[in-house]
Amino acid sequence: MMKDEDIAQRVKTLYSDAVVDIVGEDCSFEMYVISEGFAGQSRLQRQQSILTLFNEELQSGVLHALSVKTKTPGEQNAPAVGLVQIQPLR
């Protein structure tokens, strides 16, 4: 069984500036990672780089499920695209 701290520390070996938020327990986790290191990478490249760090644990079953969501700091601070702000009627 892996701990949140172990998972975050492993991500930081690849992306030292990463801000890592992990939700889950036992062998199923959802991870949110923000790093400048993702700049210029596709979503698939970002996820593969993270999942490769846990290849052994995923194959052995130590980790049953690991969902990864990634953003750069600029993407994190950008307004959501497609949302419409509704103004109150006067």
Domain ranges for the chain: 4-77
Q: What is the CATH number of domain 4-77?
A: 3.30.300.90
Whole-number Å distance between alpha carbons of 45 and 64: 21
> 3-state DSSP call for residue 37?
helix
**Which has more pLDDT, 31 or 85?**
31
Per residue in 1-57, pLDDT (tens digit) is 788 899 999 999 999 999 999 998 888 899 999 999 999 999 999 999 999 999 999
Query: Residue 20: which residues within 8 A CB-CB, separation 6 or more?
Result: 7, 8, 11, 12, 31, 32, 33
pLDDT, position 9: 96
Per residue in 8-21, pLDDT (tens digit) is 999 999 999 999 99
Whole-model pTM: value is: 0.80
3-state helix, strand, coil in the chain (%, to 5): 40, 25, 40
